[in-house]
Amino acid sequence: MREASILIVHPDRKTQRTVQRILGVTGYRVDIADDLEQAIRLMQHVTPMLVVIDGSAAMSAHAQTFFAAAKQKGTEACMTLLGATAHDQVPQILGLGAITNLLVHPMPVLAEELTITVHKLIRNDLFGAEKYLLWGTDLHARTLTRSTQRADIVASVAEAVRARGQSARVASMAMLVTDELLSNAVHNAPVDGDGVHFRKDVTRDTEIELDARHQVRLRWGCDARYLAIEVTDQFGSLDRDTILRALAKNDVRETGGGAGMGIALSYRSCDHLVFNLSPGKRTEIIALIDTRYPPTERVAASSYNVFVERLPATL
Protein backbone atom coordinates (compact mmCIF):
# COMPACT_ATOMS: atom_id res chain seq x y z
CA MET A 1 0.00 0.00 0.00
CA ARG A 2 1.33 3.43 -0.92
CA GLU A 3 2.09 5.88 1.87
CA ALA A 4 -0.76 8.34 2.55
CA SER A 5 0.14 11.94 1.78
CA ILE A 6 -1.22 15.47 1.51
CA LEU A 7 -1.44 16.93 -1.99
CA ILE A 8 -1.16 20.69 -2.66
CA VAL A 9 -2.38 21.99 -6.03
CA HIS A 10 -1.54 25.66 -6.43
CA PRO A 11 0.15 27.73 -9.19
CA ASP A 12 1.92 30.21 -6.89
CA ARG A 13 5.32 28.99 -5.68
CA LYS A 14 5.34 31.21 -2.58
CA THR A 15 1.97 29.84 -1.48
CA GLN A 16 3.16 26.31 -2.24
CA ARG A 17 6.16 26.75 0.05
CA THR A 18 4.06 28.32 2.81
CA VAL A 19 1.41 25.60 2.75
CA GLN A 20 4.04 22.86 2.52
CA ARG A 21 5.84 24.26 5.56
CA ILE A 22 2.60 24.50 7.55
CA LEU A 23 1.36 21.02 6.66
CA GLY A 24 4.73 19.42 7.23
CA VAL A 25 4.01 19.47 10.97
CA THR A 26 1.33 16.80 10.47
CA GLY A 27 3.99 14.17 9.85
CA TYR A 28 2.54 13.21 6.46
CA ARG A 29 4.48 13.54 3.24
CA VAL A 30 3.46 16.65 1.30
CA ASP A 31 3.33 16.48 -2.52
CA ILE A 32 2.97 19.53 -4.77
CA ALA A 33 1.47 20.12 -8.20
CA ASP A 34 1.29 23.39 -10.13
CA ASP A 35 -2.04 22.59 -11.79
CA LEU A 36 -4.71 19.89 -12.01
CA GLU A 37 -3.22 18.18 -15.07
CA GLN A 38 0.02 17.66 -13.17
CA ALA A 39 -1.93 16.60 -10.06
CA ILE A 40 -3.89 13.98 -12.02
CA ARG A 41 -0.63 12.47 -13.30
CA LEU A 42 0.88 12.62 -9.80
CA MET A 43 -2.06 10.73 -8.32
CA GLN A 44 -1.09 7.68 -10.32
CA HIS A 45 1.80 7.36 -7.88
CA VAL A 46 0.50 8.88 -4.61
CA THR A 47 -2.49 8.29 -2.33
CA PRO A 48 -3.57 11.65 -0.89
CA MET A 49 -5.69 11.55 2.24
CA LEU A 50 -6.19 15.31 1.92
CA VAL A 51 -6.08 17.67 -1.04
CA VAL A 52 -5.45 21.42 -0.70
CA ILE A 53 -6.38 23.15 -3.94
CA ASP A 54 -6.34 26.69 -5.29
CA GLY A 55 -9.81 28.21 -5.73
CA SER A 56 -9.38 28.94 -9.43
CA ALA A 57 -8.28 25.35 -10.06
CA ALA A 58 -11.45 24.08 -8.38
CA MET A 59 -13.45 25.66 -11.21
CA SER A 60 -11.19 24.66 -14.11
CA ALA A 61 -12.02 22.28 -16.96
CA HIS A 62 -10.02 19.47 -15.34
CA ALA A 63 -11.67 19.76 -11.90
CA GLN A 64 -14.27 17.04 -12.41
CA THR A 65 -11.66 14.54 -13.61
CA PHE A 66 -9.40 15.44 -10.71
CA PHE A 67 -12.10 15.11 -8.04
CA ALA A 68 -13.17 11.75 -9.49
CA ALA A 69 -9.57 10.50 -9.36
CA ALA A 70 -9.18 11.73 -5.78
CA LYS A 71 -12.41 10.01 -4.73
CA GLN A 72 -11.27 6.77 -6.33
CA LYS A 73 -8.07 7.00 -4.30
CA GLY A 74 -10.13 7.32 -1.11
CA THR A 75 -9.15 10.93 -0.40
CA GLU A 76 -10.76 12.01 2.87
CA ALA A 77 -11.35 15.67 2.10
CA CYS A 78 -10.60 18.59 -0.14
CA MET A 79 -9.80 22.07 1.14
CA THR A 80 -9.93 25.09 -1.16
CA LEU A 81 -7.79 28.21 -0.72
CA LEU A 82 -8.92 31.53 -2.10
CA GLY A 83 -7.05 34.84 -2.10
CA ALA A 84 -8.75 37.76 -0.40
CA THR A 85 -8.98 39.70 -3.67
CA ALA A 86 -10.79 36.85 -5.41
CA HIS A 87 -14.04 37.12 -3.43
CA ASP A 88 -16.08 37.28 -6.66
CA GLN A 89 -15.29 33.58 -7.11
CA VAL A 90 -17.11 32.58 -3.91
CA PRO A 91 -20.60 32.37 -5.50
CA GLN A 92 -19.19 30.13 -8.25
CA ILE A 93 -17.47 27.88 -5.73
CA LEU A 94 -20.62 27.65 -3.63
CA GLY A 95 -22.60 26.90 -6.77
CA LEU A 96 -20.57 23.71 -7.25
CA GLY A 97 -22.20 22.27 -4.13
CA ALA A 98 -19.12 20.21 -3.36
CA ILE A 99 -16.55 22.46 -1.67
CA THR A 100 -16.95 21.84 2.05
CA ASN A 101 -13.83 23.66 3.25
CA LEU A 102 -13.03 27.15 1.94
CA LEU A 103 -10.37 29.38 3.50
CA VAL A 104 -10.35 32.96 2.25
CA HIS A 105 -7.24 34.99 3.08
CA PRO A 106 -4.60 37.25 1.65
CA MET A 107 -2.06 34.82 0.24
CA PRO A 108 0.05 33.24 1.64
CA VAL A 109 -2.63 31.88 3.95
CA LEU A 110 -2.83 32.26 7.70
CA ALA A 111 -1.08 29.31 9.28
CA GLU A 112 -3.38 28.90 12.28
CA GLU A 113 -6.63 28.37 10.37
CA LEU A 114 -5.02 26.06 7.83
CA THR A 115 -3.41 23.99 10.59
CA ILE A 116 -6.65 23.73 12.61
CA THR A 117 -8.66 22.69 9.55
CA VAL A 118 -6.18 20.03 8.50
CA HIS A 119 -5.85 18.53 11.99
CA LYS A 120 -9.63 18.36 12.38
CA LEU A 121 -9.96 16.59 9.04
CA ILE A 122 -7.14 14.13 9.72
CA ARG A 123 -7.88 13.38 13.38
CA ASN A 124 -11.71 13.43 13.22
CA ASP A 125 -11.56 15.63 16.35
CA LEU A 126 -14.12 18.26 15.41
CA PHE A 127 -15.86 19.90 18.33
CA GLY A 128 -15.07 22.93 20.48
CA ALA A 129 -14.43 26.62 19.85
CA GLU A 130 -11.23 26.25 21.90
CA LYS A 131 -9.46 25.05 18.77
CA TYR A 132 -9.80 28.51 17.21
CA LEU A 133 -8.77 30.59 20.22
CA LEU A 134 -5.46 31.12 21.96
CA TRP A 135 -4.65 28.78 24.83
CA GLY A 136 -6.12 30.00 28.13
CA THR A 137 -8.98 31.99 26.61
CA ASP A 138 -12.09 31.84 28.79
CA LEU A 139 -15.29 30.58 27.21
CA HIS A 140 -18.48 31.84 28.83
CA ALA A 141 -21.40 29.40 28.76
CA ARG A 142 -25.19 29.83 28.89
CA THR A 143 -27.96 27.28 28.45
CA LEU A 144 -31.26 28.19 26.85
CA THR A 145 -34.04 26.51 28.85
CA ARG A 146 -36.89 28.67 27.49
CA SER A 147 -37.13 30.00 23.97
CA THR A 148 -37.92 33.54 25.17
CA GLN A 149 -34.58 33.76 26.97
CA ARG A 150 -32.98 34.35 23.60
CA ALA A 151 -33.37 38.15 23.56
CA ASP A 152 -31.85 38.57 27.04
CA ILE A 153 -28.94 36.27 26.24
CA VAL A 154 -28.22 38.06 22.95
CA ALA A 155 -28.25 41.44 24.69
CA SER A 156 -25.99 40.20 27.48
CA VAL A 157 -23.42 38.89 24.97
CA ALA A 158 -23.34 42.24 23.17
CA GLU A 159 -22.99 44.13 26.46
CA ALA A 160 -20.15 41.87 27.61
CA VAL A 161 -18.35 42.21 24.26
CA ARG A 162 -18.50 46.00 24.49
CA ALA A 163 -17.35 45.89 28.13
CA ARG A 164 -14.22 44.05 26.96
CA GLY A 165 -13.24 46.94 24.73
CA GLN A 166 -14.59 45.71 21.40
CA SER A 167 -16.16 48.10 18.90
CA ALA A 168 -19.87 48.70 18.35
CA ARG A 169 -19.48 46.95 14.97
CA VAL A 170 -18.16 43.76 16.58
CA ALA A 171 -20.91 43.85 19.23
CA SER A 172 -23.56 44.33 16.54
CA MET A 173 -22.24 41.40 14.51
CA ALA A 174 -22.14 39.29 17.68
CA MET A 175 -25.79 40.12 18.40
CA LEU A 176 -26.95 39.17 14.91
CA VAL A 177 -24.99 35.92 14.76
CA THR A 178 -25.94 34.83 18.29
CA ASP A 179 -29.61 35.56 17.67
CA GLU A 180 -29.71 33.66 14.37
CA LEU A 181 -27.82 30.62 15.63
CA LEU A 182 -29.88 30.34 18.82
CA SER A 183 -33.11 30.73 16.87
CA ASN A 184 -32.08 28.03 14.41
CA ALA A 185 -31.13 25.65 17.22
CA VAL A 186 -34.48 26.14 19.00
CA HIS A 187 -36.83 26.17 15.99
CA ASN A 188 -35.14 24.30 13.13
CA ALA A 189 -32.97 21.63 14.77
CA PRO A 190 -35.68 19.56 16.54
CA VAL A 191 -37.08 16.65 14.53
CA ASP A 192 -39.58 13.94 15.38
CA GLY A 193 -39.21 10.21 14.79
CA ASP A 194 -40.00 10.68 11.10
CA GLY A 195 -37.40 13.40 10.66
CA VAL A 196 -39.99 16.19 10.43
CA HIS A 197 -38.87 19.63 11.66
CA PHE A 198 -42.02 20.11 13.71
CA ARG A 199 -41.13 23.50 15.20
CA LYS A 200 -39.83 25.36 12.15
CA ASP A 201 -43.07 27.27 11.53
CA VAL A 202 -43.66 28.29 15.15
CA THR A 203 -43.30 32.06 15.54
CA ARG A 204 -40.04 33.10 17.14
CA ASP A 205 -41.67 34.98 20.03
CA THR A 206 -43.68 31.95 21.23
CA GLU A 207 -42.83 30.83 24.76
CA ILE A 208 -41.46 27.27 24.64
CA GLU A 209 -40.18 25.36 27.65
CA LEU A 210 -37.14 23.37 26.61
CA ASP A 211 -36.55 20.02 28.29
CA ALA A 212 -33.09 18.47 28.58
CA ARG A 213 -33.11 17.18 24.97
CA HIS A 214 -34.26 20.50 23.51
CA GLN A 215 -32.02 22.83 25.51
CA VAL A 216 -29.44 24.78 23.54
CA ARG A 217 -25.92 25.60 24.71
CA LEU A 218 -24.18 28.87 23.91
CA ARG A 219 -20.48 29.49 24.53
CA TRP A 220 -18.47 32.52 23.52
CA GLY A 221 -14.98 33.89 24.07
CA CYS A 222 -12.52 36.40 22.66
CA ASP A 223 -8.71 36.25 22.45
CA ALA A 224 -8.21 39.75 20.93
CA ARG A 225 -7.96 38.13 17.48
CA TYR A 226 -11.30 36.40 17.15
CA LEU A 227 -14.60 36.61 18.92
CA ALA A 228 -15.92 33.04 18.80
CA ILE A 229 -19.63 32.26 19.21
CA GLU A 230 -20.52 28.57 19.55
CA VAL A 231 -24.09 27.20 19.57
CA THR A 232 -24.90 23.50 20.04
CA ASP A 233 -28.14 21.55 19.71
CA GLN A 234 -28.66 17.88 20.57
CA PHE A 235 -30.44 16.70 17.44
CA GLY A 236 -27.77 16.67 14.74
CA SER A 237 -30.39 17.15 12.04
CA LEU A 238 -28.50 19.73 9.96
CA ASP A 239 -26.81 18.10 6.96
CA ARG A 240 -24.04 19.04 4.57
CA ASP A 241 -26.24 19.67 1.52
CA THR A 242 -28.60 21.99 3.42
CA ILE A 243 -25.61 24.01 4.61
CA LEU A 244 -24.06 24.36 1.16
CA ARG A 245 -27.40 25.39 -0.37
CA ALA A 246 -27.85 27.99 2.36
CA LEU A 247 -24.36 29.42 1.95
CA ALA A 248 -24.99 29.80 -1.78
CA LYS A 249 -28.02 32.05 -1.26
CA ASN A 250 -27.47 35.36 -3.04
CA ASP A 251 -30.30 37.23 -1.30
CA VAL A 252 -30.73 36.46 2.38
CA ARG A 253 -33.75 38.76 2.62
CA GLU A 254 -36.00 36.25 0.89
CA THR A 255 -39.28 35.42 2.58
CA GLY A 256 -39.86 32.25 4.49
CA GLY A 257 -38.32 30.57 7.48
CA GLY A 258 -36.05 27.60 7.89
CA ALA A 259 -32.44 27.04 8.80
CA GLY A 260 -31.17 28.26 5.42
CA MET A 261 -32.00 31.90 5.95
CA GLY A 262 -30.33 32.02 9.39
CA ILE A 263 -27.23 30.24 8.10
CA ALA A 264 -26.92 32.65 5.16
CA LEU A 265 -27.28 35.69 7.42
CA SER A 266 -24.75 34.34 9.90
CA TYR A 267 -22.25 33.57 7.13
CA ARG A 268 -22.43 37.13 5.83
CA SER A 269 -22.06 38.56 9.33
CA CYS A 270 -18.83 36.84 10.38
CA ASP A 271 -15.38 36.11 8.97
CA HIS A 272 -15.39 32.32 9.34
CA LEU A 273 -18.35 29.99 9.89
CA VAL A 274 -17.67 26.43 11.05
CA PHE A 275 -20.17 23.56 11.10
CA ASN A 276 -19.33 20.48 13.18
CA LEU A 277 -21.87 17.75 12.47
CA SER A 278 -22.50 14.52 14.33
CA PRO A 279 -25.55 13.19 12.44
CA GLY A 280 -28.44 12.31 14.74
CA LYS A 281 -26.49 13.40 17.83
CA ARG A 282 -25.54 17.08 17.78
CA THR A 283 -24.80 20.07 15.62
CA GLU A 284 -22.24 22.65 16.70
CA ILE A 285 -21.87 25.91 14.77
CA ILE A 286 -18.98 28.28 15.49
CA ALA A 287 -18.93 31.82 14.13
CA LEU A 288 -15.58 33.64 14.20
CA ILE A 289 -15.53 37.43 14.00
CA ASP A 290 -12.11 38.96 13.36
CA THR A 291 -11.75 41.86 15.81
CA ARG A 292 -8.43 43.16 14.46
CA TYR A 293 -9.53 45.13 11.43
CA PRO A 294 -11.92 48.05 10.84
CA PRO A 295 -14.75 47.53 8.29
CA THR A 296 -12.77 49.15 5.47
CA GLU A 297 -9.99 46.54 5.85
CA ARG A 298 -12.15 43.42 6.20
CA VAL A 299 -11.92 40.71 3.57
CA ALA A 300 -15.09 40.86 1.47
CA ALA A 301 -15.60 37.07 1.49
CA SER A 302 -15.82 34.70 4.45
CA SER A 303 -14.26 31.31 5.10
CA TYR A 304 -16.34 28.28 5.98
CA ASN A 305 -15.89 24.65 6.98
CA VAL A 306 -18.36 21.77 7.03
CA PHE A 307 -16.99 18.89 9.09
CA VAL A 308 -18.92 15.61 9.39
CA GLU A 309 -17.87 13.25 12.15
CA ARG A 310 -16.72 9.88 10.84
CA LEU A 311 -18.09 6.86 12.62
CA PRO A 312 -15.52 4.46 14.09
CA ALA A 313 -14.85 1.44 11.91
CA THR A 314 -16.74 -1.71 12.91
CA LEU A 315 -15.34 -5.21 12.79
Per-residue pLDDT of the chain (315 residues; tens, 9 = 90+): 456 789 999 999 998 999 999 999 888 899 999 999 999 999 888 889 899 999 888 888 888 888 888 888 888 778 888 876 677 788 888 877 778 899 987 766 678 888 999 999 888 999 999 999 999 999 999 999 999 999 999 999 999 999 999 999 999 999 999 999 999 999 999 999 999 999 989 998 899 999 999 999 999 999 999 999 999 999 999 999 999 989 887 544 343 345 567 899 999 899 999 999 999 999 999 999 999 877 666 767 789 999 999 877 554
Query: How many Cβ atoms are within 10 Å of 210's Cβ, its own excluded?
Result: 17
Assess whether 108 and 209 both reside in one domain.
no
Assess whether 106 and 24 both reside in one domain.
yes
Domain boundary among 68, 94, 123: 123
Domain boundary among 85, 100, 123: 123
Is there a domain that residue 222 lies in?
A: yes
Return the pLDDT at 297.
Answer: 66
Tell me how far the alpha carbon of residue 194 is from its chain's centroid.
28
How far is residue 181's CA from residue 289's CA, in Å, rounded to a whole number? 14
Contact 97, 241 (CB under 8 A): yes
Half-sphere exposure of 193 (CA within 13 A, CB side): 0
Q: Is 33 helix (H, G, I), strand (E, B) or coil?
A: strand
Assess whether 174 and 53 both reside in one domain.
no
Return the pLDDT at 240.
Answer: 92
- DSSP 8-state code for residue 205: T
Is there a domain that residue 35 lies in?
A: yes
Is there a domain that residue 315 lies in?
A: no
Assess whether 28 and 52 both reside in one domain.
yes
Is there a domain that residue 189 lies in?
A: yes
Provide the domain limits for residue 260: 129-308
Assess whether 195 and 275 both reside in one domain.
yes
Return the pLDDT at 227.
Answer: 97
Alpha-carbon distances of 201 from 157, 167, 204, 256, 290, rounded to whole Å: 26, 35, 9, 9, 33
Is there a domain that residue 268 lies in?
A: yes
Assess whether 161 and 253 both reside in one domain.
yes
Assess whether 71 and 183 both reside in one domain.
no
In the chain, DSSP finds a helix count (H) and a strand count (E) of: 9, 11
Assess whether 118 and 136 both reside in one domain.
no
Beta strands in the chain (DSSP E): 4-9, 29-33, 47-54, 77-83, 101-105, 140-144, 216-222, 226-233, 272-278, 282-290, 303-308
Return the pLDDT at 257.
Answer: 46
Return the pLDDT at 293.
Answer: 77
Is there a domain that residue 313 lies in?
A: no
- State the pairing for strand pair 272-278/226-233: unpaired
CA angle 54, 228, 214 (to 5 degrees): 110
pTM for the whole structure? 0.91
Beta carbons within 8 Å of 312's beta carbon, 6+ residues apart: none
